[in-house]
Chains A and B, each alone.
Chain A
Amino acid sequence: MGKTIAEKIIAEHCGKDVKPGDIVVAKVDVSMVQDGTGPLSVQELQKMDMESVVNPERTILFLDHASPSPRKELSNAHIILRKFAEKTGAYLSEIGEGVCHQRLVETFVNPGEIVVGADSHTCTAGALGAFATGMGSTDVALAFALGKVWLRVPPTFKFIINGEPKKGVYSKDIILYIIGMIGADGATYKAMEFTGDTVSNCSMESRFVFSNMSVEAGAKAGLIPTDDVTKAYLESRGRGDKYREIHADDDANYEKVFNIDASKIEPLVSLPHKVDNTKPISEAKGIKINQVYIGTCTNGRLEDLSVAASILKGKKRHPRVRLIVVPASREVYLNALKEGFIETFVEAGANVLAPGCGPCVGVHEGALGDGEVVLSTQNRNFKGRMGNPEGFIYLSSPATAAYSAIRGEISDPREVLT
């Protein structure tokens, strides 16, 4: 019997053949926490008198959710992680270096590896052919100390996506379409595998969006087979030697197979307060907005900023709209500066903030006021997500968000894209 990507990677890491449903203890290659979850991991290790890490170069502590810190409690949480890094040799990613998931793919994760992170969007690295999954602080604390984690081998759903997306349709719209179709719990406990021409024709940056949002359908991992695009990405990052072919066997056993025609998908928007509450842009058009946020581990990469800048070039934000742009990492920020995107944003009236999670998680900046509406390129629109349960969060691609910022209401980017 052939194997899926998830089955192959897990089997390699526990040294035996596996099938869905098996519970195994697997070796971990990369483990990480962030400033919202890490202090608890450290506390757990202190309680056990096991304040050490087995693989310091690949144990990473990210200060990204509150960066820079807005208040003393968060600053104290940062101190806990800085001290832990000093004591154990774990890698500390300081404030302003970027969102954990972007930093992980830029610098740390390679195909075929197992990555565990105390952050649900750890699945982002699945686009590099790595089995990357989110867990809680205790699980990751033990991965730090022991280099191992228990896993239940997931069954896999395969998504075969073919067809050329229409103008104004990006990987964000396609993944919103999939989540709208299968629901917020449609892939709970499953691994999702994304294949087909549309996926192979995507840049690495667009592929990360599929993997990043797979958890919004409940999935354990969002995996993409490796190919020349993966190889070129790793080479451009000085990790060409880490490239490996990772793909499922032709006779792999899938719990479900979905065939998706990307050419039929319209730009989409997720309406409050659930990610699977997706509607074609035609049904959301005209909704007045107070804030637009372009950034995050979903859509804060150079490609996203490039699309947004092409729409905002020479234009101004609508007077009612606060426009916030946050590059996903310091590297993205520098490249956006070189390309002139940052200048475009600032001229358009944007607030460009330090690389990190930005307003997405509602901890430190860009919190919504009562009754306010935001259109964001982030991955999640739960009630209260952006710091206020009285706010309303809509989700879209960077193109839709940028054009809507000019118009002051949710607008169809196809009206301006050439």
Chain B
Amino acid sequence: MIEKVKGRVIKLGDNIDTDVIYPGRYLPIIDAEEMALHALEGLDPDFPKKIQKGDIIVAGKNFGCGSSREQAATCLKFAGISAVIAKSFSRIFFRNGINQGLPIVVSHEAADMIEDGDEVEIDFTSGKIILKAGETIGFKEFPDFIFSILDAGGLIPYVQKKLATEK
């Protein structure tokens, strides 16, 4: 389980949809590294080049709305995005993020207090976002079941572990 991530903030608005995160024309790609080359391309064709390893997305409400395409979560993870903080997430993106082991944080305050380019740190063990001025924002922990999926590193490893113990 990832305990802490630190990175530069990419600030985005409300309703960042799956067609913007990962345009439908790239759906046939099944290699995650190749998917990453198109992350957020719908916002700006040069966006994928601007992402640096460790970057943290901070967005408004309804992040990941639209399609069920898991590629939207996968492309962000493999592009180097270390976490996504948003006021709220669409439910399918939320599931996909958890299943892919992409850390997801729901925080209303963060989106209002953090600016593009800020350096922030997320401490998952204490449930806190630490801003560059040292201020902290608490966030709600996941229900135990969801936490155990994340703790295992995603849904597949979680199920594998569970099946192994049942045997």
Contact = CB atoms under 8 A, between A and B. Distances in A.
Interface of A: 23, 35-37, 39-40, 43-44, 47-48, 65-66, 73-74, 76-77, 80, 117-120, 122, 134-139, 142, 146, 150, 184-185, 188-189, 218, 220, 274, 361-363, 380, 382-385, 387, 389
Interface stretch (B3-11, B93-101, B121-129): B93-101
Given A138-B96, A139-B155, A150-B145, A384 B68 contact: no
B23 A184 contact: no
List of 8 A-B pairs having minimum Cβ-Cβ separation, nearest first = A136-B70, A185-B62, A36-B27, A136-B96, A382-B19, A73-B28, A134-B68, A120-B68
Contact of A138 (B19, B66, B145, B155): B155
Contacts, number: 126
B91 A363 contact: no
Contact of A136 (B29, B68, B146, B160): B68
Given A120-B68, A136-B96, A185-B88, A361 B24 contact: yes
19 contacts: A23-B143, A23-B146, A37-B69, A48-B156, A66-B28, A77-B30, A119-B67, A120-B67, A136-B95, A136-B96, A138-B155, A142-B159, A185-B61, A362-B23, A383-B20, A384-B19, A385-B19, A385-B24, A387-B25
B52 interface: no
A63 B160 CA distance: 29
A384 B70 contact: no
A48 B160 contact: yes
B71 interface: yes
A139 B126 CA distance: 29
Contacts of A37: 27, 68-70
B65 A185 contact: yes
Main secondary structure of the interface of A (DSSP, over half): loop
A125 B25 CA distance: 26
Contacts of B65: 184-185, 218
B95 to A, nearest CB: 6
B55 interface: no
Contact of A184 (B62, B91, B154): B62
A43 B30 contact: yes
Given A138-B156, A142-B155, A384-B23, A23 B66 contact: no
A134 B92 contact: yes
Contact of B99 (A73, A136, A362): A136
Given A47-B156, A185-B15, A138 B100 contact: yes
